Every structure is written in structure tokens, then in C-alpha cells.
Amino acid sequence: MVNLKNYVSEINDFPKHGIVFKDINPIYRDPLIWKQAMRAIEDLVIKTSPDLIAGIESRGFIIASALAYKNEIGFIPIRKSGKLPGKVIGINYHLEYGSDRLEVEPESIKKNSRVIIIDDLLATGGTASTAGKLITEAEGQLIGYGFLIELSNLNGRKKLNPEVLIKSSIIY
Ligand code: AMP
């Protein structure tokens, strides 16, 4: 087992002054490292048996879609404003650097279906908690969250529903 932190680059002041951006692209370049990084999130799938895996645009798509395809589970995108066609529901929120809006197609979620949400990184928790609210508003049942990286000093976990399982592969 390698130390996965060796495969995360840190870029100072990106995309804004004061932010230390965690670049996880080096993980994806090496399939064995990527496999190791997915272990905690795969464990989430085993423990929760979801009907759907929801990925948050855009870096969350990489992990969520790989996980959904490999485990033969449906994938749904949670997207930024104005990207999804047809009927959408959306919520505005604040994040570590700025503000944004997430949207989902409610028709993509059957009532009470079991959904896990995947993103690359948990920082303040604004993005993930908003995604969770969207799933609930669309009448899905939120059962878990999976992240490749968690910045524990920002206490994002506290913003998430304490009743759902939360798994992160790399904790800072
Ligand atoms: P937050 O809503 O504060 O938990 O921020 C999480 C979202 O913002 C994720 O979708 C990340 O991709 C992105 N993000 C926040 N902080 C960072 C960071 N330091 N490095 C890389 N991505 C980040």
C-alpha cells in the first residue's frame, strides 16, 4: 500500500488567493494507485447497496461513473446550473471559493431509491450537503457519501446528514 498523499499535488492560490488546491489527477494516471484510492469508496458501495450513484459535476463524475460502471449500478449526474435538459430542480449554495448552484433531473430518481453521492473532495461540505438536499427533494433516499479527499479541518462532515455513511479515501 502506497501513501496516496504522494499522488496529490498542491497548488497554492488556485483558483483563488488563499486556496491550496488539491490536484488528484496524478492518481488517475496510474491504474494501481487509482484502484487503491477507490477502496474506501467501494467499501461504501458494498455496505450500502445503492440503486443509484450520483456524481457531482465535474470532478465527481470521474469517480462516480467508474464506480457505477464497475459495480453495474445506475449513474446520475448532479450538474451546475443550466446544463441539464428538461425538468430540473436546483438549489443555490456557498462553497470554499465562491457560490454556485446544483441541479438534478427529478425524473432520474425513482421514489425512495437508495442513492449515494460521490465527489472528489469534501471541504466545507456546502456542495455535498446541497447535493444531498437535492436527492431528498427529488424523493430519493440518501444513504451515503464518498470522497477521494476530505479536508477535516474544515469540518464538512458536520454539515452532512449524520445518519448516512460517509467514506473518504485520503484525510488531511
Ligand atoms: P465544499 O463545498 O467547500 O465542500 O467544496 C467542495 C467542492 O469544491 C468539491 O467539488 C471540490 O472539487 C471543490 N474544492 C473545494 N476546495 C478544494 C480544494 N482545496 N482543492 C480542490 N478542490 C476543492
What residue segments make up the domains of the chain, in order of their start? 31-171
Q: Compute the average pLDDT of residues 103-124.
A: 97
DSSP 24: -
For the chain, percent of residues with pLDDT exceeding 90? 94
Question: Closest ligand 1 atom to the C-alpha of 124?
Answer: 3
**CA atoms 66, 69, 71, 75: torsion sign:** positive
Q: Is the pLDDT of residue 166 over 90?
A: yes
Please report the pLDDT score of residue 16 as a whole number: 86
CA 38 / ligand 1 centre spacing (Å)? 18
Residue 4 CB coordination number (10 Å): 20
The answer to whether the CB of 105 falls within 8 A of the CB of 90 is no
Query: In which band, very low, low, confident or very high, does the pLDDT at 39 lie, cut at 50, 70 and 90?
Result: very high
What's residue 94's pLDDT?
82
The total of other beta-carbon atoms located within 10 Å of residue 91's CB is 15
Query: Please, are residues 138 and 109 in contact by the beta-carbon 8 Å criterion?
Result: yes
Q: Which set of grid coordinates corresponds to residue 107?
A: 425524473
Q: In the structure, what pLDDT confidence band is assigned to residue 97 with cuts at 50, 70 and 90? A: low
What is the Cα–Cα distance from 84 to 121, expressed in whole angstroms?
Answer: 23
CB-based contact 145:127 (threshold 8 Å): no
pLDDT of 19 > 70? The answer is yes
Position 96 pLDDT exceeds 70: no
Alpha-carbon distance of 91 to 104, in angstroms, equals 9
> Could you name the CATH architecture of 31-171?
3-Layer(aba) Sandwich (3.40)
Q: What is the pTM of this model?
A: 0.97
Which atom of ligand 1 has the smallest separation from the CA of 23?
Answer: 21
Instruction: Pick from 11, 14, 96 the residue to mutate for probing ligand 1's pocket: most ligand atoms within 8 Å of its CB.
Output: 96
Cα of 63 to ligand 1 centre, how many Å?
15
Q: What pLDDT does residue 67 have? A: 98
Q: Does residue 22 line the site of ligand 1, with CB under 6 A?
A: yes
Q: In the predicted model, what is the mean pLDDT of the chain?
A: 96
CA separation for the pair 39, 103 (Å, rounded): 28
Q: Residue 76 and residue 108: Cα distance in Å, rounded?
A: 7
- Indicate the top mutation candidate among 127, 151, 152 to test ligand 1's pocket, ranked by most ligand atoms within 8 A of CB: 127
Q: Give the whole-angstrom CA distance, residue 108 versus residue 40.
A: 26
Instruction: Give the DSSP H or E segment for 70.
Output: helix 59-71
Q: Over the stretch 52-87, which tens digit does the pLDDT of each residue have?
A: 999 999 999 999 999 999 999 999 999 999 999 999
With a pLDDT cut of 70, the percent of the chain lying above it is 99
